[in-house]
Amino acid sequence: MCYHAATPGKLKLKEMNPDKVVTYDQDVIYHISGFTRPYLPVTLNSNIDLIQESRWKLIPFWVKTEADADKYANTLNAKCEEVFEKASYKNAITKQRGLLYVTGFFEPHATDGKKNDETYFIQNPNSPIFTLGIVCTPWQDYSTFSIITTPANPQMEEIHNVGKRMPLIIPQEKHHNWLLAQGRDEIESLMVPYEGELHSHRTARVTSARGIDTNIPTIQDEV
C-alpha cells in the first residue's frame, strides 16, 4: 500500500502547471507518512483549475471530532475493487475525485517474501511531478482524501511482493477523463494498473514512527 509519499512545493507546482491557480503553500516534502495526516497538493473535480491543499486520510461525515478522526479506521488508501461498496467511499467516488501531485512514493519490499524489511522509492522517469488518483470528501472545514490503489503491475509486484498493490497513477493525458468521468463504468475503466515503466531504487527504510525527521533530501538517496 502507498502510505509514504514525496510531494512538490508551491514554486515547482506553479512552474509545471502554468494553467492552474496554486493556493497550496508548502515547500518540497521529501518524505511524509500518511499516518501524520498531512496536508498535500491536490486538484479536485470541484475546481479543476486549482491546486489546493487536502488532508491525507479520508474522514466520512459521521465522524464528528478531530480525536475521533485520528482514531478512525485506516482510510489512507482505498482499494479500487472496494471503493464502490465500502461505506467510507461509496457516496464519494462517483462525485468527488481528484489528483494528488507527487514526485514519488515509497513502497516496502520483503527480501524473504514474508516480512517487509526494505524500502524502494518509485518515480516517473518521464516527469518530475506525476499524479495519483484520489477519492475525496469535505470534512469540518477542510478537504480529506484517500489514495486509490490497484493490483500491482509486473514491475511493482516484484517490489511490493507481499501486498502486491500500487497507487492508481493517472497519466497526464487522462487527467480530464478522471476528473470529469461520469458513472461507475467510466470510473472503473480508469482504475487500472499503470502500464508505463517506472524508475525505482532502494533507499534507507522508512517507517511511520513519529518523532523522527525524515523530511530530508537524503531520504530518497539510493543505498
Q: Are strands 118-123 and 104-109 parallel, antiparallel or unpaired?
A: antiparallel
pLDDT of residue 2: 87
Rounded to an integer, what distance in angstroms lies between the CA atom of residue 105 and that of residue 122? 5
pLDDT at 213 over 90: no
pLDDT of residue 207: 77
Rounded to an integer, what distance in angstroms lies between the CA atom of residue 113 and that of residue 133? 28
List pLDDT tens digits, range 10-21.
999 999 999 999
Per DSSP, the three-state class of 88 is: helix
Q: Once rounded to an integer, what is the mean pLDDT over residues 66-76?
A: 96
Cell numbers describing residue 33 = 507518512
Percentage with pLDDT > 70 across the chain = 98
pTM for this one? 0.97
For residue 1, name the pLDDT band (cuts at 50, 70, 90).
low
Contact partners, residue 76, CB within 8 Å, separation at least 6: 1, 2, 3, 34, 35, 56, 57, 146, 147
pLDDT of residue 168: 98
Residue with cell 503553500: 25
- Burial annotation 39-53 (CB, 10 A radius, 16+ → b, else e): bbbbbbbeeeeebbe
With the CA atoms of 70, 31, 160 and 200 taken in that order, what torsion angle do they form, in degrees rounded to the nearest 10?
160
Q: Once rounded to an integer, what is the mean pLDDT over residues 136-155?
A: 97
pLDDT of residue 211: 63
pLDDT at 134 over 90: yes
CA angle, 69 then 31 then 106, to 5°: 95
Residues in the chain: 223
pLDDT at 90 over 80: yes
Check: CB of residue 37 under 8 Å from CB of residue 55. yes
26: nearest Cα among 14, 43, 41: 41
Cell numbers describing residue 137 = 470528501
